[in-house]
Amino acid sequence: MRASGNAVANSAGYPLLLALLCAPCAHADSVRCHIIYGGENFVVDAEPTTQPYRVTGRRIGRYFEFKASYVATPERAAAINLYTYSVVTGEPVLIHQSKHRPPFLAEGPRHGFTGLHAVYEPSKHSELQYWCERMP
C-alpha cells in the first residue's frame, strides 16, 4: 500500500515539476528594452503575445510612457512594436513608434537590433533614449 501511496503522491507532483521545468521556456524568446531618461536606467521586458492591444505601457519619469509589444505568431504578422508616449497632459499622446520585423539581428556590438533611439518631448524639452535586444 505504501508504494501505491507514493506513486499517487509522486504523480501529483508531476504537474508542478513540469511547470517549473517549462517556466524558463516562457522567457526564452523575449525582448528587453533599455531606457535612459533623466540620468536613470529603466528596463522594459516584452514576451510574445497574441493580444498586442492589451499590452500596457510603463511610466518612465514624469513625461514619458514606453510600451513594447512582441507578436511572434502567426509568422506573417511577427513584429516587435515600440511606442513612446508623452504624458505631459495626463493623457498618453504617441510621439514615437518603431516597428521591427524578423530577423531581429543586432546592428553592431552595442544597442541591439534597434540601434539607439532618441525621443524628444518638445513641450518640456525632455529626451528619452532607448535600445532593445532579443533575449535568448
Instruction: Report the distance separating Cα 94 and Cα 61, nearest Å.
Output: 16
Q: Report yes or no on 128 lying in a domain.
A: yes
Q: Write out the residue range of the structural domain in which residue 102 sits.
A: 28-135
Total-model pTM: 0.76
Q: pLDDT, tens digit, for every residue of 36-67?
A: 999 999 999 999 999 999 999 999 999 999 99
For residue 5, being part of any structural domain is answered with no
What's the number of domains the chain is made of?
A: 1
pLDDT digits over 97-121, tens only?
A: 999 998 888 766 789 999 999 999 9
